[in-house]
Amino acid sequence: MRKNRLRLVGALAALLVAAGIGAGPPAQARHEPPTLADLAQRHGRYFGSATDNPELVDEPYKALLGSEFDQITPGNGMKWYATEPQQGVFDFAKGDEIVDLARARHQKVRGHTLVWHSQLPGWVTGREWTAPELRAVLKKHIQTEVRHYRGKIYAWDVVNEAFNEDGTYRETVFYKTLGPGYIADALRWAHQADPKARLYLNDYNVEAIGPKSDAYYRLAKELRAQGVPLHGFGLQTHLALQYGYPTTLEDNLRRFSRLGLDTALTEVDVRMQLPVTEEKLAQQADWYRDMTEACLAVRRCVGITVWDYTDKYSWIPAVFPGEGAALPWDEQLRPKPAYFALREALK
C-alpha cells in the first residue's frame, strides 16, 4: 500500500518536474522556505551536502548549496594528500575555502577525514616506516589539522574505512605498522587538539546489521568502556538499487545509540544502473524517504549528508561505469522524486 502511494507521489513529482513546474532556474533562485535544512531542524537534525572546491565557481550550484542545507562536508579538501602534501608542509587553503563559505551561511562543517588508507600523499605511502616514526607522523598530521580548525568543525571523521567486509581490520599502513591501537590513539590526539569536536568512525556498507557493522559495534563498545573519546558512528550510506535496501538500518542505528553514541548518515547516495526510468526514480525516492524516517526514529541520529546534492557532481559515474543518477537533484539542478520524498519524510 504505502509503497504504491510513494510511487504515485514520486511519479507525480517527476511529472511536475518534466512539465517545468517547480523546476528550472527561476524556482531555484526563489529559495522559498522551508528548505530541507529548515525541515530537519524542526526535528533537531541537520541536512547537509558534500561539496568540492572546483564546483564553487558554479554560481547556481553554489546558491542552492547555500540555501537548502545547514551542514557541509568537504569531499576532498581536508584529506591528507590535500592538507599535508609534503611531510610537515601543511596547506589548508582548500578546507579553509569551504569552512569560510559554510561559516558565512551558518552551516555546520563535518571534517573529512584525518586517517584513511586512500588519498594519502606519496611521501606516506612511498616508504617503509617504523612504528615510532609513523606514530609521530600520524600524531602531527592529526593535531596540526584539528588545531587549525579548532572551534570551527562540528564533527570529525577521525578514522575512515578501518574494517574489511568480513569485520577484520583493513590492512592499512597504519594497522600494519601500529596495530589496532592506532584508532584509539587517533581519537585521543584529535580530542586533545579540539575538545569540543564530535569524533567519529566512518565507513560504507555498515548500514545493515552484519559482520562489518558488528565489528564497529564491538570496537565502539570497547573504546567507550576504556574512556576513549569516541562520540559518533558515521554510516556513509552509498546505496545501489540493484543490491537492495538495508532494512535493518533503524535497528542498527539504535544499537549504536544505546552505546551513547551519535550516529549520522554521512555520504548518502542511491545509485542505479542507467538508463534512468521513472520506476527507478520512484524506488530511489522510497529509499531516500525510508532512510530519513529511520534516522528520525532514532533519537541520536543527528543528521543526514548527501554526497553532493546534484548528479552533476556525483563521484559515481567515474567509479561505477554505467551507473549514476544517485542524488536528489539531477544534472540540471532540477529536483528529482527523491527530493520530494525527503521533504515528505521530514514533514
Positions annotated as catalytic residues are 161, 267
CB-nearer residue toward ligand 9MR: 119 or 247: 119
Can you tell me the distance from the alpha carbon of 213 to that of 82, in angstroms, rounded to the nearest whole number? 29
Closest distance between ligand 9MR and the C-beta of residue 160, in Å? Answer: 6
What's at 94, amino acid-wise?
K
We find the least distance from the C-beta atom of residue 234 to ligand 9MR, in angstroms, to be 10
DSSP secondary structure code for residue 244 in this structure: -
Of 203 and 262, the one with the shorter C-beta distance to ligand 9MR is 203
* Contacting positions for ligand 9MR (CB under 6 A): 52, 75-76, 118-119, 160, 204, 236, 267, 315
Closer residue to ligand 9MR in complex, CB, 213/236: 236
One-letter identity of residue 59: E
Neighbours of 285 (CB within 10 A): 28
* Long-range contacts of 243-251, Cβ-Cβ distance < 8 Å, separation of 24 or more: 245/287, 245/290, 246/207, 246/208, 247/208, 248/208, 248/209, 249/207, 249/208, 249/290, 249/291, 249/294, 250/293, 250/294, 250/297, 250/298, 251/209
Task: For ligand 9MR, give the closer residue by CB, 269 or 286.
Answer: 269
- Smallest distance from ligand 9MR to CB 204, Å: 6
**Cell numbers given for 128:** 617503509
Closest-CA residue to 46 (of 78, 69, 80): 69
**Shortest approach of ligand 9MR to residue 21 CB, angstroms?**
32
